[in-house]
Amino acid sequence: MIGRMFRGGVHPPEKKLSADVPVKPLPVPEQVIVPLSMHIGAPAKPVVQGGDEVKLGQLIAESSGFVSANIHSPVSGVVRTIEPRDHPLGRKLPCFVIDNDGKDDAVEFTPLGDWPTAEPKALIEAIHAAGIVGMGGATFPTHVKLSPPPQFPIDTVIANGVECEPYLTSDHRLMLEHPDRVLEGLRIVMRVLGLDKGFIGIEQNKPDAIALMREKVADHPGVEVLALPVRYPQGAEKQLIYAATKREIPSGGLPMNVGCLVQNVGTLAAIRDAVVEGKPLVERIVTVTGEAVAQPVNLLVRLGTPIRLLIEAAGGATVPTAKVISGGPMMGLAQYTDQTPVIKGSSGLLVLGPEQAPVIEAGPCIRCGACVRGCPMGLQPTELARLVQNDDFAAAEAWGVLDCIECGSCAFGCPAHIKLVHWIRFGKAEVMARRKKG
């Protein structure tokens, strides 16, 4: 079954430079920087202090609210201090600085045992304990997503292996190298929600992954692999749900409003590790790529590793770098220092030279409508940008500025190089601030 294509969208050059490079573990750094905020929600509360010895996988900060997540030490060694350090989000946030003793002395993991018979509650507790958050980039705590309020029953779960961002290949490699982990993770989520039906969405530009996953799901009749057309942002939650179920999430709603739940394949593999092995989330696959590195690679990286080491592992920069982006080119965040650490949501690291990331002055809008055609949410980016530019935030709100998913399709297609997403993000921030004020 292939659902209907979502409206809008664009097709940027795919540039999957590292698609054929097997994942290799990056040597564990001598020092890791682990932020207290690696998820959306309240920062975790430290349970160890500067000077304390920690083991690999030991809980070092616990979730401090319903929407929050546990954090575990990615190395064994000594916590040097907790202090503000550069965070991928672009500001200084409190981080553990942990000196690695090189022993990788791990705490004893306690697996849940026979999960197919376990209570959903116990499974959610195991996922919560392991500090798992959405690893596609949004970093929403997974245990919260798996505990929808009773008025929103979930009937469809979708594994997101679309990876529609250009350059990124971490999910692709994960599906090729560990398809069983992904599948088992999906089945655990289905068990939690009491479902016998699940989808795995993969874009058609990954035929090897589609074939392999199809082979693996043959024994599990409830799971179906969807080969989706290549179109950005196919991997966005709302667009993926539409493709799989033809359901449209109402404005301001969440997937649970239409009975759906989407989990990134990386998150599913982590869920499986948490449940089957009792292993907390302390490492992830990161694609280090871009025209400006010598050898694009996929690395298995401990959380808290400075991105400088990742760039070195990819052979270093071959030209003076113009931009280093955490995430993909469409939605990633440009970094102003190479000292920021890898966090739970870091799917890729993109290093671009001046040729790929030129500085272009924005010109006047020529009313061509490319942004309107490209918008997957059916908005009018040019109009929104104009309203925000004129400080008319009430009108921008009425024109649906808050529905923007910031996918970047409009700015990508704009021949005048207008920074549409930036204007709209500015508008969203102002509208939210005004709502708070009341």
Partner 1 sequence: MLTAILTLTGVGLVAAIGLGIASRVFAVQVDPLVEQVAELVPGVNCGACGNASCNAYAEMLVAGTAGIDECTVMSDEARAKIAEILNIEFTKTDKPTAVVLCQGTTAHIQLKYHYDGVPSCRAAQLVAEGYTGCDYGCLGLGDCERVCPFDAIHVVDGLAVVDEEKCTACGKCVDVCPRNIIELHTTNQRVHVLCSSQDKGKIVRGVCDVGCIACRKCVKVCPVEAIEFKDNLARIITEKCIQCGACARACPTGSILDQGGPHYIAKINDNCTGCTLCARKCPAGAISGEKKLLHVVDEKKCVRCHVCYDVCNFEAIALVDEQGQEMIAPKPKKKKKKAAAPQGAAS
Please give the residue ranges that form the binding site for partner 1 (CB under 8 A): 89-91, 333-334, 336, 359, 362, 389, 391, 419, 422-423, 425-426, 429-430
Give the nearer residue to partner 1 in terms of CB position, either 366 or 429.
429
What angle separates helix 265-272 from helix 170-177, to the nearest 10 degrees? 50
Q: Is the peptide bond before 233 cis (omega within 30 degrees of 0)?
A: yes
* Non-local CB neighbours of 389 within 8 Å, separated by 6+ positions: 423
DSSP one-letter code for 116: G
- How far apart are CB 31 and partner 1 at their closest, in Å? 21
Instruction: Give the phi and the psi of residue 341 in degrees, each rounded to 5.
Output: -90, 165
Give the nearer residue to partner 1 in terms of CB position, either 266 or 327.
327
- How far apart are CB 344 and partner 1 at their closest, in Å? 19
DSSP one-letter code for 318: S
> 253-291 in b/e burial notation, b at 16+ Cβ within 10 A?
ebbbebbbbbbbbbbbbbbbbbbbebbbbbbbbbbbbbb
Give the nearer residue to partner 1 in terms of CB position, either 101 or 383.
383
CA 302 to chain centre: 16
Give the nearer residue to partner 1 in terms of CB position, either 242 or 393.
393
* Non-local CB neighbours of 366 within 8 Å, separated by 6+ positions: 415, 416
Give the nearer residue to partner 1 in terms of CB position, either 49 or 337.
337
- How far apart are CB 391 and partner 1 at their closest, in Å? 8
What angle separates helix 120-129 from helix 179-193, to the nearest 10 degrees? 130
Give the nearer residue to partner 1 in terms of CB position, either 186 or 404.
404
- How far apart are CB 404 and partner 1 at their closest, in Å? 14
- How far apart are CB 406 and partner 1 at their closest, in Å? 11
State how far the Cα of 210 lies from the Cα of 269, in Å rounded to an integer: 17
Give the nearer residue to partner 1 in terms of CB position, either 78 or 362.
362
Query: Side by side, which strands form the sheet with 45-46?
Result: 45-46, 59-62, 71-72
- How far apart are CB 377 and partner 1 at their closest, in Å? 20
- How far apart are CB 362 and partner 1 at their closest, in Å? 8
- How far apart are CB 139 and partner 1 at their closest, in Å? 17
Residue 248 exposure: Cα atoms within 13 Å on the Cβ side: 10
Pinpoint the alpha helices (H) of 390-438. 393-398, 409-413, 420-437
- How far apart are CB 423 and partner 1 at their closest, in Å? 5
Q: Locate tokens 């989808």: which residue?
A: 199
Give the nearer residue to partner 1 in terms of CB position, either 202 or 352.
352
Give the nearer residue to partner 1 in terms of CB position, either 66 or 336.
336
What one-character-per-residue DSSP string does 8-27 give?
A: --B------TTTTSPPEEPP
